[in-house]
Amino acid sequence: MKVLCVAEKPSIAKSVAQLLSNGGLRTVATRNKYIKNYCFDQLLNGQQCQIVMTALLGHLMESDFPAEYRNWKAVPPMGLFDATVIKSVREDLKTIEDNLKKEARYAQMLIIWTDCDREGENIGAEAAEVCKSANPRIQVKRARFSVIQRRELQQAWNSLGELDMRQAAAVDARAELDLRIGAVFTRFQTLTLRGMFPELGENKILSYGSCQFPTLGFVVDRYMKVQRFVPEDFWKIDVSIEKDGSTAKFDWGRTHLFDQHFTLVLYEKCMDNPTATVASVNTKPKSKWAPLPLTTVEFQKAGSRILRISSDRIMSIAERLYQQGIISYPRTETDVFADSFQLHPLIEAQVNDPRWGQYAQGLLGGRFRRPRKGKNDDQAHPPIHPVKAALDLTGDDQRVYEFITRRFLACCSDAAKGNETVVVVHIAGEQFTAKGLSILERNYLEVYPYDKWAEHSIPNFYQGEQIMPSELTMTSGRTSGPDLLTEADLIGLMEKSGIGTDATIHEHIKKILDREYANKENQFFCPTVLGMALISAYDEMDLELSLSKPYLRSLMEANMKRICEGTRSRYDVVQESLEMYRGAFARASQQSRRLKEVVGRYLRGGDRNHTIPQIPPTRPPSSPSDGAPYTVPRPTAGSRRTAGRQPDSSTTSQGRSRGRGSRGSRGSTRARGATRRQAGTSSSDTRADYTRNRSSDTSDPKPKCDCNLYAARRTSRKNNENQGRDFFTCTKAGAKCRFFAWADEWSANNTNGR
């Protein structure tokens, strides 16, 4: 019997043929320079067979409209929703089609060896269609495998199954929708804008994709949050207690307050009675769990965050390592190793690696723990893991392999273990907390340096103990806004919103960069002017279903899964999605004028309220918006304080707050050596002095906001003509009113009333 085997890529065909034939094969050239036919003999179900193993170059076919629809100006975009779609062999792959037909004519069986995922099932169905056109009687079988190793390939050879035509249909549905929706909106955007804005370029194609635009929308949304963020000053009380030669720093139970005066009142109470009473000391076991087995999405996120390699490149490297038989199939949603999965042979393969061989030996010697089970299992592939040792890799290939291997060994390890001590003290009714950590067993952390768990020792305290703080400080800081999105952030948002699949997320991210809708600088994504303009235009249109938000694409992806499960048909899913996008397009095309207006505002600066996107600082500047660091007046002689000596001068050093709601300080008033007593003016005098310093100066009047509070003076930091200009806004930290006034305009209008 003659059997034709078809792999998805030439490298896979060669590897499978070599392993199944034990190296006894004959290579035959074809008309395509990349494709070889590998011929050998092999037993199948006890019968000696002549095998021909050949390959494809990915998808053999493509979907497109008939020629009469390819003239953009002759066919209204709306017509593409209903135009005929033809799926046919690509012109540049006709030589591969000819090779398949030639070999299929004399074969009794076709075995599909494409990748075992949705795309692989569709590619296999394409190959089967071509082969059946040459030999309708050929029997089609499917080989399923996750690792290119002799044992697993032999197992796949001995347990052939059937093609999953439901998965193939889901890919066809997605391809048809992507073609129709992409063509309709791409033509609409391009024809509407290109002639009106020559600065876009004569041949510029303004591409739209139902995955591409929600991905860009995430980037724009975060950019706008960064731009709109207004930092707020806050104040807090810090306590340090020195004992037995070490110091514990205590955090305030209130974290921080946005009311400077109230914080000062509480601080003065603490200064008047600074003795700290230990309210509780609790020590309990603490564990840091070993990581879960590795999925594709987590692999891409970690690669971007830890290795600083883009998701597109890291998937390319992983694909190469897989084809070389070094790692398992890198496209998987599974974070569970089946109970029957043999892990020990994979660990044994690592014992000779000088980097982690000793650790692997320890796992085999009794430290092995069955990996934790996640919540996802695609029933197709195991989590990503190393298949064999690889000591000769270099560059990024080596770094990616090292991460995968360390992750695998870590997930086969016990959690790190330690003891956490939490000490709570009370000072003048205020609560402060310090935490210490002692690590008893590092376990998985020994082989997985990407996780951090730092030991932090504090002195021994006892409940009921009274002790004087070595430092009691009121400090100020400033909230900081969100950062721009990193690639790991963007991947996480896409996964959470159901945009793309584990195998395509990296492609959509690359696409918004290639289309010049976004830039990536220092690991952060920022929209370009054009990207901002397009997203803003759709956001300003009166659309029932947003074209820049994830809902429509998320629903489409969910329906693809339902096709795979057999609960929905390809036809129903396609028609439902087209109906929603048809309605959205009808409303968008009616508002094409809005598209032109918004794009014009951005490209030509026609609106002072719309700034041109630039990579902004990832955090706001550290200095206060009114330019004055916070200081508390020094006490004068006669003070009744029981706290220790004050510093010789008020502290005015400035730092920066590291994160929204951060406790980082930029100024402080501190009392050191709180066990000492010092004479001086009363604390009420200090508060009175402070109030006079802040409010008695009428040379800088302020308006009252809609809350009937004196407004806060801020400085604009946006990169436009108002940069550096002062303005007034509501002083509240939470639900602000909408009051706003430019300081110079308000002063000019109120000069006569001063």
In order, the DSSP letters of 504-560 are THHHHHHHHHHTTSEEEETTEEEE-HHHHHHHHHHHHS--SS-SSSSHHHHHHHHHH
Q: What pLDDT score was predicted for residue 390?
A: 94
Angle at 66 between CA 60 and CA 70, to 5 degrees: 105
DSSP character string of 37-68: EEEEEEEETTEEEEEEEEE--S--EEEE--GG
Q: How far apart are CA 137 and CA 167, in angstroms?
A: 23
- Count Cβ atoms within 10 A of the Cβ of residue 525 and give its class: 0-12 exposed, 13-18 middle, 19 or more buried: buried
Q: What is the mean pLDDT of each run of 10 residues along the chain (754 residues)?
A: 95 93 90 94 90 95 93 91 95 96 96 94 97 96 92 93 96 96 96 89 90 95 94 96 93 96 95 96 96 95 93 94 93 91 94 96 95 87 94 95 98 96 96 96 96 92 95 94 94 91 89 94 92 94 88 93 95 96 94 93 67 47 32 32 33 35 43 36 30 35 74 73 77 64 78 46
Sorted by where each starts, the structural domains of the chain and their CATH numbers stand as 2-163 (3.40.50.140), 166-208+534-612 (no CATH), 697-754 (no CATH)
The amino acid sitting at 517 is Y
Please identify every residue annotated as catalytic: 329
Nearest to residue 222, comparing CAs of 479, 487, 513, 478? 487
Cβ contacts of 272 within 8 Å, gap of 6 or more: 428, 640, 641, 642, 643, 683
Task: With beta carbons less than 8 A apart as the criterion, state whether 273 and 279 touch.
Answer: no
Q: How far apart are CA 501 and CA 313, in angstroms?
A: 17
| Owner of token pair 């004959």 | 26
DSSP secondary structure letter of residue 211: T
Task: With beta carbons less than 8 A apart as the criterion, state whether 229 and 482 touch.
Answer: yes
Q: What pLDDT score was predicted for residue 729?
A: 82
Both tokens of 434, joined, read 């310090």
Q: What pLDDT score was predicted for residue 732?
A: 59
Q: How far apart are CA 581 and CA 180, in angstroms?
A: 10
Task: With beta carbons less than 8 A apart as the criterion, state whether 44 and 150 touch.
Answer: no
The amino acid sitting at 341 is F
> What pTM value is reported for the model?
0.77
Strands (E), 626-754: 667-672, 712-715, 726-729, 740-742
Q: What pLDDT score was predicted for residue 715?
A: 78
| Owner of token pair 């000779």 | 352
Helices (H), 143-292: 150-158, 165-193, 212-228, 260-272
- Count Cβ atoms within 10 A of the Cβ of residue 43 and give its class: 0-12 exposed, 13-18 middle, 19 or more buried: exposed
DSSP secondary structure letter of residue 681: B
Q: What pLDDT score was predicted for residue 740?
A: 82
| Owner of token pair 């303009």 | 533
Nearest to residue 680, comparing CAs of 647, 645, 651, 631? 645
Q: What pLDDT score was predicted for residue 688?
A: 26
Task: With beta carbons less than 8 A apart as the criterion, state whether 404 and 386 touch.
Answer: yes
Q: What pLDDT score was predicted for residue 634?
A: 30
